Amino acid sequence: MAEFRRQAGTRRRTTKHLLAVLLAASTIAGCADRSLTTGSINRGPQKPVEQMTAVELEQAIGSYSRIYERNPKDKSVAMAFASILRMNGRNEQALAVMRKAAIDHPKDRDILAAYGKALASAGQFTAALDAIQRAQDPTDPDWRLLSAEGAIYDQTNRSNLARERYRKALQLRPSEPTILSNLGMSHMLEGNLQQAETHLRQAINHPAADSRVRQNLALVVGLQGRFDEAESIARRELSPQQVEANVAYLRNMLAQQNSWNLIRQEDQKKAAQ
């Protein structure tokens, strides 16, 4: 049993490392609410954040930076800028933006929720959980906050609590792709790749599925050794150079894992003899 737990822990750490490298995103919390659109901000990019590709997200940072400099206390501007920063992996900068927003709007539930997600993306999980739970209204629960709370539990190795939150969120918002994506990645972290793929395929069939959901599916498919299929999925979201680098890295990591498995099997045979 101790050996099984050790191997499970190693698999979880390896999978989390793959996720960070291949997707250039935050950990599971990055799959939380991305429903914020950019069209509500004057002179900002007139395209929903969830529909932007990785290249478009990077290009949007410059535009949002200028807008934020002119309107640092504007709630919508701060939240949109922090969302763009998080989705580009600039978690510390996003946290600084939301920390200032929380000071400017100390009782605003939307700000508290976004602040919690920024804390989670920066790895400050205890503070993130506190902020998100304070933003939640038990009499009128928000599915986005439930999903974000589940993502934090996943990152702190409490998968049972995480999936309970995802189930509650799906009761409020059936078939929501961001929740299904979080649920899929939760199973991935446990090494259940087939179950993860099932949830992620349900997610991408939804019209509102965004770029990160498809990237998550590409990762899970690739982890199962179906590299051509994973590459095909990823090419819709990433540049050819990014896809090539990601697939090469994934092949190398899986080859190392297979080599380690063969060595362990040989050791077990020798011990039995």
CATH number of the domain to which 214 belongs: 1.25.40.10
Structural domain that includes position 128 = 36-135
pLDDT in tens, 42-66: 444 556 665 566 677 777 888 899 9
Q: What is the pLDDT of residues 230-260, one digit of tens each?
A: 888 888 777 777 777 777 877 776 776 655 4
Same domain, 108 and 191: no
Q: For residue 146, is it within any domain? A: no
Model confidence at 82, in pLDDT bands (50, 70, 90)? Answer: very high
Residue 153 structure tokens: 């539990």
Residue 145 lies in a domain: no
**Which of 22-36, 52-66, 165-179 bottoms out in mean pLDDT, i.e. has the lowest?**
22-36
Within a 10 A sphere around the Cβ of 265, how many other Cβ atoms? Answer: 10
Question: Residues 161, 272: one domain?
Answer: yes
> Does residue 148 lie within any of the structural domains?
no
Give pLDDT, residue 229: 93
Q: How many domains does the chain have?
A: 2
Give the C-alpha separation, 220 to 46, whole Å.
Answer: 31
Q: For the chain, what is the radius of gyration of the CA atoms?
A: 19
CB atoms within 10 A of CB 65: 13
Q: Does 97 lie in the same domain as 55? A: yes
Q: In this structure, are 59 and 24 located in the same domain? A: no
Q: What is the mean pLDDT of the chain?
A: 79
In this predicted structure, what is the pLDDT of residue 140?
92
Do 46 and 125 reside in the same domain of the chain? yes
Q: Answer yes or no: do 100 and 165 share one domain.
A: no
Q: Assess whether 6 and 73 both reside in one domain.
A: no
Amino acid letter, residue 230: A
